[in-house]
Amino acid sequence: MLESEMNDLIADCNDRVNAAYQFCYPVRDAALQRQAAADLDAYLEVLGRAKADCQAAQRSDAANVALGMHCFALSVRCFLQMWIELRDDDPGSAWDSLVNSQVNARMAMRISQSFAEQLEGLVRRLDAVEQVVFPAIQFVSPSMVVSGTKCSLCNAAFHECSHVSGLAYNGEFCVEVVDGIKSVDHIALVEHPRDKRCRLTECFERGHVLDAFTLRRTDRSDAISEDGLPRLTAIVLHAD
């Protein structure tokens, strides 16, 4: 991919993502919102192919820019998904989509100063939506014994290679990957979890176990133990 083609791709990406962003409001028409999501899905494939071309040509800087555009587009796609899932009465999935949107926006911001400046407003709005649309959440964090961690790029034991976690190399982020979980020691209630998708999904109020978001009563027969104590469910780990 030539330099001029890359500049065209950046301009095209901004146009398409900004067009989809116009539908990231709850007042928008539901069918148009779904169409914007489908259009962005198709465009994410275009960005994925552009990144693969740059990677194959070992054009590391261009591959990282393509990665940043992909993260930016994916962030807005997840934001759209959040509004769609709220309409569908599925706040649990909507919360995960918001967190994925925040994570992808912040990943794009790490690529370059130019992405950092461009996405500042989006991240501010996502954080505001978190505060305004969702109630307070009880986060959880598992305390685990792992057999080891490795580098997602070269597969070497982590800290034994020169890659730095969170930085992009030839269009891929370096991630510290857990090799295997030996045991889970305990689950802690925390204020600032590593993964905001890990949370108590139920709460206990006036003798009833309720869904933490909808406040609908749970229909689980084992929600209250024989001695009257609540048994609350939680999401403690995500595979990715």
Query: Does 175 help bind Zn ion (rule: CB under 5 A)?
Result: no
Which of 1, 133, 161, 187 touches Zn ion by CB under 5 A? 161
d(C-alpha 80, C-alpha 97), whole Å: 9
For residue 156, the minimal CB distance to Zn ion (Å) is 5
d(C-alpha 240, C-alpha 238), whole Å: 6
For residue 121, the minimal CB distance to Zn ion (Å) is 34
In terms of Cα–Cα distance, which of 240, 194, 193, 191 is closest to 78?
240
Complex with Zn ion: residue 161 or 187, whichever CB lies closer: 161
Complex with Zn ion: residue 70 or 163, whichever CB lies closer: 163
Which of 77, 150, 163, 199 touches Zn ion by CB under 5 A? 163
Binding mask 119-158 for Zn ion (x = CB under 5 A): --------------------------------x-xx----
Q: Report the run of H or E that residue 60 belongs to, with start and end.
A: helix 60-87
Task: Report angle CA 52, 111, 190 to the nearest 5 degrees.
Answer: 110
d(C-alpha 34, C-alpha 28), whole Å: 10
Q: If binding means CB under 5 A, how many residues of this protein chain bind Zn ion?
A: 5
For residue 57, the minimal CB distance to Zn ion (Å) is 21
For residue 160, the minimal CB distance to Zn ion (Å) is 8
Report the interface residues with Zn ion, using CB under 5 A.
151, 153-154, 161, 163
